Amino acid sequence: MPYSVIVFASGRGSNFAALAQAARDGALPIRLDALLSDKPDAPALTLARDAGIAAIALAPRDFPDRASFDRAIFARAAEFAPDLIVLAGYLRVIDAGVVEAWRGRIINIHPSLLPKYPGLHTHRRVLAAGDAEHGASVHFVTAELDGGPVIAQIHLAVVPGDTPESLAARLLPLEHRLLVATVDALARGRVALGADGIELDGRRLPAPLRLGADGRLHGAGAAVG
């Protein structure tokens, strides 16, 4: 059976587009089944429709509270029986009970080297702190905001003259590569969430995998992909 993936997005959907392109090119062994959004006018929905992928939007204002909305949108996701849900620019904090029901089957991509800078405005915060390095992380989603176990990261040097906008522009294509490589590792069964953290081929990883210049994830003396 193909490895089924659903993406949640609130905005333009560039990470969704990267996954869809990799799947079309045969570089990613997945079937993208749906794009779900909390924004009925999200450009990501148009990308999905143009690709022939189910595009579903629910508006939070139509529900009495956050938990009700989360239960409803994840119930729609469950109709596709996905192996994995990818939060890719999905700008909502999800109810803890809903998250727990999907433990080990839901990941998020975040533009910082977690645990540094959870939440918003990461590029601005990196520059304000004077950091020499920035990056992105893919992690399993838990009830803690951007606090779940980190699967993989990519690093980016901060250069003189960088602005939040220039950092964001340089990091975005690296985010795409990181997300594709991480979903590939999950789809192939190489990486999973174990009882004590991230596991690679059944063995606990002492640190997150790192995406190298060769486009492969590296860690614990092994290359993935």
Active-site positions? 110
DSSP 62: G
- Are the beta carbons of 55 and 48 closer than 8 angstroms? yes
- Are the beta carbons of 14 and 20 closer than 8 angstroms? no
Do you know the residue count of the chain?
225
Dist. CA 172–CA 182, nearest whole Å: 15
Dist. CA 212–CA 178, nearest whole Å: 9
- Are the beta carbons of 72 and 43 closer than 8 angstroms? no
Pull the structure tokens for residue 143. Answer: 């009830």
Sheet holding 30-37, edge to edge: 54-57, 30-37, 3-8, 84-87, 106-110, 133-140, 150-157, 209-211, 217-219, 222-224
Residues β-bridged to residue 150: 139
